[in-house]
Amino acid sequence: AREVHLVRRPHGMPEPDDFALVDRDLGEPGDGEVLVANRSFSVDPYMRGRMNDVPSYVPPFALDEPMDGRAVGEVIASNSADVAVGDTVTSNLAWRTHGVVPAKQVQKVAAPEGVDPTAYLGVLGVPGLTAWVGLLDKAAFREGDSVFVSGAAGAVGSLVGQLAKLKGASRVVGSAGSAEKVAWLTGELGYDAAFNYKDGPVVDQLRAAMPDGVDVYFDNVGADHLEAAIACANDFARVAACGAIAHYNDTADDPTPGPANLFQIVKKRLSIQGFIVTDSIDRMRPFLEEVTPWVAQGRVKFAETTAEGIDNAVEAFRGMLRGENTGKMIVTV
């Protein structure tokens, strides 16, 4: 197997020398284990946090070990009665070409016709569940709400806006980092308006796009985006605090400024609910029951940006942090 190991903890933006490609002989699967050949795996923003040696909701990656994360692959050897050679499975075996795991730690995939199993890394996987749980459970979205989504052209954000439209939002506005992404949001995904946050102050662009104010803000970015959403929020607005990617490469000597208007949370009686999707993993079934048919029917659209080969995994991860992905960033093996 070829694996990507973390060999040094990044300072700021991860550098290629923070990682190493390592070849390893895996041997045969033991009792109850399977050998999986990956087809593709996911690189995600939360992995940046796991590269730091700090306590968090998920343990840091160990140095000189393969990192983990979601992957889709094929079982090529099995020592378990529950999983057969040829089964397509999801697993936590990211950042490697092959892996041996207990059969209990893989999930068989039955993708609807016409939908590639890689969808289980994105729109029908953890990012999709994050969008659904954040909008519906955490921000308590109601028909008629106006919704602002940051990071709107990414894996999570691209679903949030579509769900809000399907469920009767009065207006959905997204922000993203390029003109192409903005055109995709309004032209393909049904966002009512979108803007490129690099074109000018977020607060000015949001106010222009959302003149009647924001009822629900789905925050993937933090920083200037959260400050703008607070500034444009209506009384009793709700925020699903999902991520803060503007801060993930911060260092103690170079922090990204946070919102300067927190007192408006009091004046406007805002609710800000942070959440971690793994606490809501029991919501996977109802999420898939609702969203799978929409994906199969094409009522929910999604995009994937693909990097070819494990040798390009580190660049794919760095590219995702820089915004080179539209929809889900995936590495094919």
Q: Could you tell me the smallest distance in angstroms from the CB atom of residue 52 to ligand NDP?
A: 14
Contacts of 67 (CB under 8 A, 6+ apart): 4, 5, 6, 47, 50, 61, 94, 95
The angle subtended at Cα 305 by Cα 304 and Cα 310, nearest 5°, is 115
Tell me which H or E stretch contains 294. Answer: helix 284-297
Q: Could you tell me the smallest distance in angstroms from the CB atom of residue 125 to ligand NDP?
A: 10
Hey, what amino acid is at 180?
Answer: E
Q: Could you tell me the smallest distance in angstroms from the CB atom of residue 2 to ligand NDP?
A: 24
Residue 60 vs 323, nearer CB to ligand NDP: 323
Q: Work out the angle between the directed axes of helices 284-297 and 155-166 (0-180°, nearest 10).
A: 80
Q: Could you tell me the smallest distance in angstroms from the CB atom of residue 305 to ligand NDP?
A: 9
Q: Could you tell me the smallest distance in angstroms from the CB atom of residue 323 to ligand NDP?
A: 3
Residue 46 vs 294, nearer CB to ligand NDP: 46
Residue 155 vs 232, nearer CB to ligand NDP: 155
Q: Could you tell me the smallest distance in angstroms from the CB atom of residue 238 to ligand NDP?
A: 15
From first CA to last CA, the distance across the chain in angstroms is: 11
- State how beta strands 88-91 and 71-78 pair: antiparallel
Q: Work out the angle between the directed axes of helices 223-232 and 202-209 (0-180°, nearest 10).
A: 40
DSSP 168-199: T-SEEEEEESSHHHHHHHHHTS--SEEEEGGG
- State how beta strands 233-241 and 271-274 pair: parallel
Residue 102 vs 323, nearer CB to ligand NDP: 323
Residue 202 vs 333, nearer CB to ligand NDP: 202
Q: For residue 282, report the phi and psi dihedrals to the nearest 5 degrees.
A: -65, -10
Q: Are 125 and 99 in contact (CB under 8 A)?
A: no
Q: Could you tell me the smallest distance in angstroms from the CB atom of residue 1 to ligand NDP?
A: 25
Q: Could you tell me the smallest distance in angstroms from the CB atom of residue 268 to ligand NDP?
A: 23
Give residues in contact with ligand NDP (CB under 6 A): 44-46, 127, 130, 151, 153-157, 176-178, 181, 220-221, 242-243, 245-246, 275-277, 320-321, 323, 325
Smallest CA-to-CA distance from 129 within 255, 289, 19 is with 289
Residue 1 vs 148, nearer CB to ligand NDP: 148
Residue 51 vs 242, nearer CB to ligand NDP: 242
Q: What is the SS3 assignment for 61? A: coil
Residue 33 vs 219, nearer CB to ligand NDP: 219
